[in-house]
């Protein structure tokens, strides 16, 4: 088997999902333990990762082989990962840093919730538009579509947490974001969840159909990567309702937090 095998590509996406999530959680946990301006330090220290991601994305846009598909995928993950690191360290979040009071009107609750993530959402949207502008018409579409999947899956996940799901993890939420869970709801179901599941399932089916239809090795690798990352996003949505201890995937590799807060079941990656 070679790196051009779609199964190897799918397993690579699975490993990178696990490893990149764990690496970000590890860095954030260590910065949280150190305290002070450690969060700012690790965010600035991670800028080379962002730079490599932007450079790698642009450098592989005209490639058509398996290596270009892998490099575009990795570049998108690097860009995404740095923005997530900046969010989790509390550097790029939003203007609202206070817990949400109870019994607010829904419109005010939504505005407050938006205020907790506004700058982060703007950064993600700016990155998405930049990647679209750079990659419009390029031969290698896989870096761009990787970021698109991550972007819309994350929006869907945040909205589901806002409207309410049965299982909400707070184990890995860092100190800078301890106000965030007050904007979530724990409830049996919400109207958006089946829409999200349907949309992600459709995306997985589309990528698998493309994988079945193409014959070029680069396209086979690329669509396998997109199918795998979409399937992982679908799985993460299901883990909001299915009681599986997925946090064990990362808990063993992380140093202990200063204190344990809230529900320790599960964590939604990326």
What is the tally of structural domains in the chain?
A: 1
In a domain, 241, yes or no: yes
In a domain, 269, yes or no: no
Residue 32 contacts residue 171 (beta carbons within 8 Å): no
Q: Residue 262 CB: number of other CB atoms within 10 A?
A: 12
In a domain, 192, yes or no: yes
Residue 184 contacts residue 162 (beta carbons within 8 Å): yes
pLDDT tens digits for the chain (270 residues)?
678 899 999 999 999 999 999 999 999 999 999 988 999 999 999 999 999 999 999 999 999 999 999 999 999 999 999 999 999 999 999 999 999 999 999 999 999 999 999 999 999 999 999 999 999 999 999 999 999 999 999 999 999 999 999 998 888 899 999 999 999 999 988 999 999 999 999 999 999 999 999 999 999 999 999 999 999 999 999 999 998 877 888 887 788 766 544 443 334 444
In a domain, 1, yes or no: no
Scanning the chain, the segments in alpha helix (DSSP H) are 6-34, 38-45, 47-59, 66-88, 106-135, 142-163, 192-213, 217-238, 248-251
Distance, in Å, from the CA atom of 261 to the CA atom of 270, rounded to the nearest integer, reads: 21
In a domain, 259, yes or no: no
Residue (of 74, 81, 80) closest to 56 by Cα position: 74
In a domain, 36, yes or no: yes
In a domain, 260, yes or no: no
Distance, in Å, from the CA atom of 266 to the CA atom of 244, rounded to the nearest integer, reads: 7
In a domain, 243, yes or no: yes
């Amino acid at each position: 088997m070679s790196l051009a095998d779609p199964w190897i590509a799918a397993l690579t996406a699975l490993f990178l999902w696990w490893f990149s999530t764990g690496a970000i959680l590890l860095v954030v946990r260590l910065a949280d333990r150190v305290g002070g301006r450690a969060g700012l330090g690790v965010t600035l220290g991670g800028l080379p990762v962002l730079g490599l991601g932007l450079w790698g994305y642009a450098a592989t846009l005209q490639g058509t082989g398996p290596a270009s598909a892998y490099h575009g995928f990795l570049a998108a993950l690097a860009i995404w990962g740095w923005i997530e690191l900046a969010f989790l360290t509390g550097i790029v979040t939003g203007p609202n840093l206070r817990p949400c009071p109870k019994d607010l009107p829904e419109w005010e609750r939504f505005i407050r919730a938006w205020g907790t993530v506004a700058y982060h959402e703007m950064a993600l949207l700016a990155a998405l538009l930049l990647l679209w502008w750079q990659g419009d018409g390029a031969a290698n579409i896989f870096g761009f579509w990787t970021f698109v999947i991550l972007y819309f899956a994350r929006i869907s996940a945040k909205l589901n947490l806002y409207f309410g799901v049965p299982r909400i993890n707070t184990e890995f939420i860092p100190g800078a974001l301890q106000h965030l869970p007050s904007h979530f709801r724990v409830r049996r179901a919400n109207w958006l969840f089946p829409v999200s599941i349907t949309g992600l399932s459709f995306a997985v089916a589309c990528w698998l159909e493309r994988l079945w239809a193409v014959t070029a090795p680069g396209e086979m690798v690329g669509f396998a990567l997109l199918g795998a990352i979409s399937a992982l996003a679908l799985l993460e949505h299901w883990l909001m309702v299915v009681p599986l201890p997925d946090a064990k995937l990362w808990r063993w590799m992380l140093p202990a937090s200063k204190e344990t807060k809230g529900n320790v079941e599960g964590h939604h990656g990326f």
